Amino acid sequence: MSEIFGTPELDRRTLLRRAAAVGLLATPAVGMLSACVGSGGSDDDQADKPQGEVSSTNPLGVDPNTPVEIVIFNGGLGTKYASDVDTPSYNKLFPNSKVNQTNTEEIATVVQPRFTAGNPPDMINNSGSKLMDQGALVQAGQVQDLTDLFAAPSVDIEGKTVKDTLIPGTVEQGTFNNKPYVLNYAFTVFGLWYSGKLFSDNGWTAPTTWADFTALLDKMKAKGITPYGYAGANASYYQYLVILTSAAKIGGPDILKNIDNLEDGAWQSDAVKQAAKAWGEIGAKYSNKAFLGLKHTEVQLQHDQYKVGFYPSGSWLENEQAKDTPDGFDYQVMPVPSVTTADKMPATAIYAAAGEQYFVASKGKNPRGGMEYLRHMLSKAGAKGFTELTKVLTVVAGATEGEDISPGLTSGNKMLSAAGSDYFSYRFDTWYKKLDDEARAATNELMFQGGTADKFCARMQKVADAVKADDSIEKFTR
C-alpha cells in the first residue's frame, strides 16, 4: 500500500494561511512562527542532535533524565495501551525519565493552544473529530522528521531496524516533502459489521453479491430490524468510505487515485455514479432517517441491541463498544458486496489502511524522547499489547501471528487474508479538509435527504475543482 507524495515547496503567503488555519498565528506566537518559516523546518532544532549518550540501547541519544510528555486521543482505542504497555517499556530503559500522559477527546482544543504558545507536548496522537491540520503543522516546521526513528534498531526484534519491521508503505504514508513526519500506527480494515449470533439464530450467511445483500436486508426489515445504518451527526465518513469502496471495486483502485490527485472529472466517473446510486437506494429503502441526527455511539448501541443489522465501520468498533456489547454478540465483519457482476475487483477486495496519526513536536522540550516513545510503540511487545487491548492490528508486521484475540479481530484478519493484495485506500480526506467536509454533507443528503447519485457526484466534483484551482491550497499526489 505504498503511497508516493509529490509536495511542492510552499511560498511564505501560503504557509502563513495554512498556519493561521491551525491557530499558529495568534499574537503570542507570531515571532515563533516567523522564526519557523524563516528556517524552513526543524533541521537546526535541538531534536536533530543527540541529548544523551548514543548506545545500542539508546540509539536516538535520549537524555535519560529528561521527562517526556505525551497526549493521547481518548476514543475508540482507549488510552491504556500507552499507560499500561508503552510507558512501562519506555521506563524499563529510562527509569529516571518520567512520562507525563494527558488523555483527551478533543486534541485540537487541548494541544493547539500549546503550539500557539510555543510549548507543545513532545508526542501527540492526532486523531478524533477535533484533530489538528497535520499538513499545516508540517509546513509550519512544527513536526519532527522521523528519519532517525525509522533507521534505529527495533527494541525487541533483533537484527532489524524499526523500518524493517513495518508493513510496506507505512513510512511512505506519513511522508511529506520526501521526509517522514507522521507515524500511522493502527492498521485498520473496513467493512460491514454484524452480529454473528443474530446471523446464526436466523440462519443467515454473509452475502457477496448485491442481489443477495438486498435480499438479506429485506429479511431483516421483515423482522422489524433496521437493516442498515450509520450516524449522520458525526460519522458520515464511514458511509462515504463505503460508497468509494464500491466505486473502487466497480472500476478499479485508480478510481480513488484519480480522486486523490484531483484529476478532472474524477468524481463524475461511471464507477462513482454507480456506487452512489446503489447506496442511495439502500439509504432510501433500508435505513432510518432519524439516524441523520445521531452520533456514532448511539447507532452503534442500537446495533449491539440487535436493532440494526449492518453497520459500516473500521476495526476499532469492537473495542469502542466493549462495555455495551452483550455476551455472545460475536462481532463479525464482511467486505462490501459486489455491486455489479462485472466489477473489476473481486468480492473479497476491501478498504484497509494504516491510520491513527502520531507525531513528535520538533519544538517540544524533549523531541528525542518523543521519538523514543514511538520506538517502543513499534516494538513487537508494544504492538502485541496494543492489539490485545484495542482489538486493532498495528503496522508492525506479524506482531500477533497465530493469536485469536477476539471475534471481531479474528473476523477482520480472515477478511484481510482473503483480500490478499486486493486492498486499497484514499487520501483526499486528510489532504483536503474542504473535500472531506463536503463528502460528509453530500453523503448525508444522498442517504437521508432524498439526494441522487448525479447530484452527489456533481456536488463533489464542484468542490474538487475549486480545491484544484485554489493556489493557496498545497496539492499532493500519489
Does the pLDDT at position 21 exceed 90?
A: no
As a whole number, mean pLDDT of residues 324-339 equals: 98
Tell me the pLDDT tens digit for each residue of 104-118. Answer: 999 999 999 999 999
Give the C-alpha separation, 245 to 353, whole Å.
Answer: 12
Please count the other Cβ atoms lying within 10 Å of the Cβ belonging to residue 449: 12
Which run of H or of E encompasses 47?
A: none
- Spans of all domains in the chain: 12-187+353-408, 188-351+426-469
Widest CA span in the chain = 69
Does the pLDDT at position 154 exceed 60?
A: yes
Comparing 420 with 71, which gets the higher pLDDT?
71
The HSE-up count of residue 441 (CA atoms within 13 Å, CB side) is 9
Tell me the pLDDT tens digit for each residue of 74-92. Answer: 988 899 999 999 999 999 9
Sign of CA dihedral 51, 183, 130, 12: positive
Give the C-alpha separation, 178 to 172, whole Å.
Answer: 8
Sign of CA dihedral 123, 401, 421, 157: positive
Residue 128 CA from chain centroid, whole number: 9
Q: Do domains 12-187+353-408 and 188-351+426-469 have the same CATH topology?
A: yes
34: phi then psi, degrees, rounded to nearest 5: -60, -40
Give the C-alpha separation, 269 to 266, whole Å.
Answer: 6
Grid cell listed for 253: 483502485
What does the pLDDT read at residue 398? Answer: 87
Comparing 281 with 401, which gets the higher pLDDT?
281
123: phi then psi, degrees, rounded to nearest 5: -135, 135
Helix (H, G, I), strand (E, B) or coil at 25: coil
Exposed e or buried b per residue across 119-144, where buried means at least 16 C-beta atoms within 10 angstroms of its C-beta:
ebbbbbbbbbeebbbbbbbbbbbbbb
Tell me the pLDDT tens digit for each residue of 159-218. Answer: 999 999 998 888 988 888 789 999 999 998 999 999 999 999 999 999 999 999 999 999
pLDDT band, residue 32 (cuts 50/70/90): very low
As a whole number, mean pLDDT of residues 55-74 equals: 96
Q: pTM score, two decimals?
A: 0.78
Does the pLDDT at position 431 exceed 60?
A: yes
359: phi then psi, degrees, rounded to nearest 5: -145, 165
As a whole number, mean pLDDT of residues 89-102 equals: 96
Backbone dihedral region of 23: left (phi > 0), alpha (psi from -120 to 50 degrees) or beta?
Answer: left
Give the C-alpha separation, 164 to 380, whole Å.
Answer: 12
Domain 12-187+353-408 listed as CATH 3.40.190.10: yes
Burial class (CB in 10 A: 0-12, 13-18, 19+), 206: buried
| CA 146-151-153 angle, 5° bins | 120
Tell me the pLDDT tens digit for each residue of 264-290. Answer: 999 999 999 999 999 999 999 999 999
pLDDT band, residue 50 (cuts 50/70/90): low
What does the pLDDT read at residue 47? Answer: 58
Residue type, 270: D
188-351+426-469 sits in which CATH class?
Answer: alpha beta
Give the C-alpha separation, 381 to 370, whole Å.
Answer: 18
